């Protein structure tokens, strides 16, 4: 691995920082790192022969008080900027190296722009090779360099005049780097492990080794991780950090991992090592893009670019969402269609370089890592939604995701934010406590999504009432389709209860009625209903069929059927058989007569009921079978008795019974 030193490793209470070098080719970055750390980072034969850095490497810089800096040395030559970008991914601060005799050069400016696009906020400037200049020139160079850097992240940075030959300024620079390391923000140790791979190699007898900067979380010997894209499971055999073998490593450390379960050719720079199930690959991301003021021309819709994210580089096509072009210095929302999958998360910074000639033109940050393809651009709703995601607060981004209207589960939070299951649950609970989320049986929604879902149901219910205008209640299942076929049934029941609490509707075990809905009959319909009820009153216990009741209204038979259903639902008519209807008052009167029979004899038969009601046997059988089905009577052989349910029902409807003239 990167070192074969054995030992207990770095203490987990140490202060870590990753500082990357930046600057034009041959300005002395590698020589300065060597003088500071004692390690020559030009390890490749070609690098040593040509005197330039081609690939990235790192050197540890340790201090007696436990501060440990990993200095990432990156190449300065224009042709190797892609390597510089891979090395700059994940750094905490930068050491900008400027040759005292050459000053700020084009590659210097590009490196500074890249650092700013990647969110680097702190740094130090080192003037090198001052042994080759006189004091007056050094002072002039200091003023010119700081003037040119005044509007950059290095505008207020300390500057040190150094010489790797004489040692001038080296001790002061080393102390400044120490102080800078103490000031950088600590990495997230609690999140799920994530390491973008920047180097891969194989050691005889050891196997595949990968290295990079740990962006988040911790890793230890024996952990099972995933290599993404493609989710290849691997196990960590050994861990090294800053050149020492350790039991574990954490966010903010340069780390080398010896892996089992994968060959060297199956993993490369740009891949990501992560805790299982916490990240996924993507070929489409939502993003906010900023074009550099120095960009040579506007970025146009559907332009092809090089995307650098983490240690990955991929060709992409930019779909501008707010206009047809983006002017230098402006920012805007966009979707990036990637020509091969990469791994990223919301808030990840990235850099864009033009397709040809290849120069840095801008960058931005990810808003949605696995975005749906937008079929239309320039839509206010979509732009507002994406704008809401453009936040540094995880809870605000979570709320913005939930506002898309779909259920948000623990697994979604894990993938979106790269956190553990426990952390995801806590995040969702915090969202509920802050009023940003509402928990339903199968997941979480935003309050706005709940309002929208309830509004959909209310509109569907209003439409159902109009279609079935003779029904006081419509079936509860009838309006569920308004939420989509895949909407969870448990969530639908939760929404029905929530809507009732808000006074939107009334629900029964099977039906639902809008609060302001009442069946309204016009004069003609009221007259038809009265005529049907009078016909049933004349038919008494024998009742009438639907055809007998409705056929008399030849041209309005459909309305007559609706009125009959209305009469049944409002309990004015009783369906004693599939196609036999009896006036409710008649049924109640008959039931009261049967109750008197039981008072006299303690039981009754079909014949008893037939004689008491003055009906035919078939009519008596139909009535008694309906009573059996409703639980009003209990049959043993040919004998029946009334149940307590019949007595209760008679008591509840006694007023209606008394008002009917039998």
pLDDT in tens, 134-167: 999 999 999 999 999 999 999 999 999 999 999 9
- pLDDT exceeds cutoff 70 at 405: no
pLDDT: is 44 or 266 the higher one? 266
Q: What is the mean pLDDT of the chain?
A: 86
Strands 123-128 and 159-161: parallel
- pLDDT exceeds cutoff 50 at 660: no
pLDDT of residue 512: 94
- pLDDT exceeds cutoff 80 at 187: no
CA dihedral 575, 579, 583, 584 (to 10 degrees): 0
- Cα of 303 vs its chain's centroid, Å: 28
**pLDDT classification of 227: cutoffs 50, 70, 90:** very high
Integer CA distances (angstroms), 90 to 80, 195, 253, 311, 504, in order: 18, 9, 10, 9, 52
* % of the chain with per-residue pLDDT over 70: 89
Domains of the chain: residue spans and CATH: 15-183 (3.40.50.300), 194-275 (2.40.30.10), 281-388 (2.40.30.10), 391-445 (1.10.10), 448-514 (1.10.10.10), 523-659 (1.10.10.10)
Strands 505-507 and 511-514: antiparallel
- pLDDT exceeds cutoff 70 at 70: yes
Integer CA distances (angstroms), 132 to 24, 36, 99, 128, 313, in order: 18, 20, 10, 9, 39
**What's the rounded Cα separation, in Å, for the pair 93 and 70?**
11
Which pLDDT tens digit goes with each residue over 10-19?
Answer: 444 568 888 8
- Mean pLDDT for 462-483 is 90
The answer to whether 322 and 277 are in contact (CB under 8 A) is no
Read off φ and ψ for residue 597, nearest 5 degrees.
Answer: -60, -45
Which pLDDT tens digit goes with each residue over 307-341?
Answer: 999 889 999 999 999 999 999 999 999 999 999 99
pTM, entire model: 0.66
**pLDDT classification of 103: cutoffs 50, 70, 90:** very high
**What's the rounded Cα separation, in Å, for the pair 63 and 299?**
46
Structure token pair of residue 371: 């975005």
pLDDT of residue 9: 41
Which pLDDT tens digit goes with each residue over 23-52?
Answer: 888 888 889 998 998 876 544 343 333 332
């Amino acid at each position: 691995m990167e070192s074969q030193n054995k030992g207990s490793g770095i203490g987990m209470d140490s202060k870590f920082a990753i500082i990357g070098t930046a600057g034009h080719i041959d300005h002395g970055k590698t020589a300065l790192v060597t003088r500071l750390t004692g390690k020559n980072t030009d390890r490749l034969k070609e690098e040593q022969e040509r005197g330039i850095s081609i690939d990235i490497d790192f050197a540890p810089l340790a201090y007696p008080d436990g501060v440990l800096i990993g200095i990432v040395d990156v190449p300065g030559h224009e042709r190797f900027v892609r390597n510089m970008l891979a090395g700059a991914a994940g750094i905490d601060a930068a050491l900008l190296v400027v040759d005292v005799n050459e000053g700020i050069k084009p590659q210097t400016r590009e490196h500074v722009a890249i650092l700013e696009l990647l969110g680097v906020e702190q740094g130090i400037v080192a003037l090198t090779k001052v042994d080759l200049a006189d004091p007056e020139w050094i002072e002039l160079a200091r003023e010119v360099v700081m003037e040119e850097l005044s509007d950059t992240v290095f505008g207020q940075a300390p500057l040190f005049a150094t010489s790797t030959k004489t040692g001038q300024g080296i001790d002061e620079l080393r102390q400044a780097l120490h102080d800078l390391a103490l000031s950088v923000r600590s990495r997230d140790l609690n999140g799920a492990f994530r390491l973008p791979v920047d180097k891969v190699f194989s050691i005889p007898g050891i196997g595949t080794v990968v290295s990079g900067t740990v962006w988040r979380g911790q890793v230890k010997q024996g952990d099972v991780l995933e290599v993404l894209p493609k989710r290849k499971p691997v196990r960590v055999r050994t861990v090294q950090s800053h050149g020492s073998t350790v039991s574990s490593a954490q966010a903010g450390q340069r780390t080398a991992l010896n892996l089992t379960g994968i060959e060297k050719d199956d993993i490369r720079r740009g891949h990501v090592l992560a805790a299982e199930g916490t990240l996924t690959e993507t070929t489409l991301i939502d993003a906010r893009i900023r074009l550099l003021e120095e960009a040579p021309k506007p970025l146009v819709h559907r332009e092809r670019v090089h995307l650098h994210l983490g240690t990955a580089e991929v060709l992409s096509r930019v779909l501008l969402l707010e206009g047809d072009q983006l002017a230098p210095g402006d920012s805007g929302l966009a979707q990036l269609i990637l020509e091969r999958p990469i791994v990223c998360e919301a808030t990840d910074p990235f850099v864009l370089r033009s397709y040809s000639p290849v120069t840095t033109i801008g960058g931005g940050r990810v808003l949605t890592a696995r975005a749906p393809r937008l079929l239309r651009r320039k839509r206010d709703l979509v732009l507002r939604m994406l704008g809401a995601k453009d936040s540094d607060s995880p809870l605000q981004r979570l709320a913005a995701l939930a506002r898309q209207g779909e259920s948000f589960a623990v697994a979604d939070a894990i993938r979106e934010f790269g956190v553990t299951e426990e952390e995801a649950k806590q995040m969702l609970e915090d969202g509920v406590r802050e009023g940003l989320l509402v928990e339903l049986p199968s997941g979480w929604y935003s309050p706005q999504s709940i309002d929208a879902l309830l509004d959909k149901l209310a509109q569907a219910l209003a439409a159902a009432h109009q279609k079935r205008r003779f029904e006081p209640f419509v079936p509860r299942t009838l309006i569920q389709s308004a939420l989509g076929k895949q909407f969870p049934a448990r969530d639908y029941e939760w929404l029905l209860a929530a809507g009732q609490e808000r006074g939107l509707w009334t629900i029964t075990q099977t039906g639902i009625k809008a609060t302001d809905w009442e069946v309204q009959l016009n004069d003609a319909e009221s007259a038809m209903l009265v005529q049907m009820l009078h016909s049933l009153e004349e038919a008494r216990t024998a009742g009438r069929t639907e055809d007998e009741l409705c056929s008399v209204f030849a041209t309005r038979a459909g309305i007559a059927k609706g009125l009959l259903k209305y009469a049944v639902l409002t309990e004015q008519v009783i369906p004693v058989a599939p196609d036999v209807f009896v006036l409710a008052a008649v049924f109640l009167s008959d039931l009261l007569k049967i109750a008197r029979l039981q008072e006299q004899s303690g039981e009754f038969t079909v014949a008893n009921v037939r004689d008491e009601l003055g009906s035919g046997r078939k009519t008596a059988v139909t009535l008694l079978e309906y009573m059996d089905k409703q639980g009003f009577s209990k049959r043993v052989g040919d004998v029946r008795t009334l149940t307590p349910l019949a007595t209760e029902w008679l008591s509840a409807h006694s007023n209606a019974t008394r008002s009917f003239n039998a």
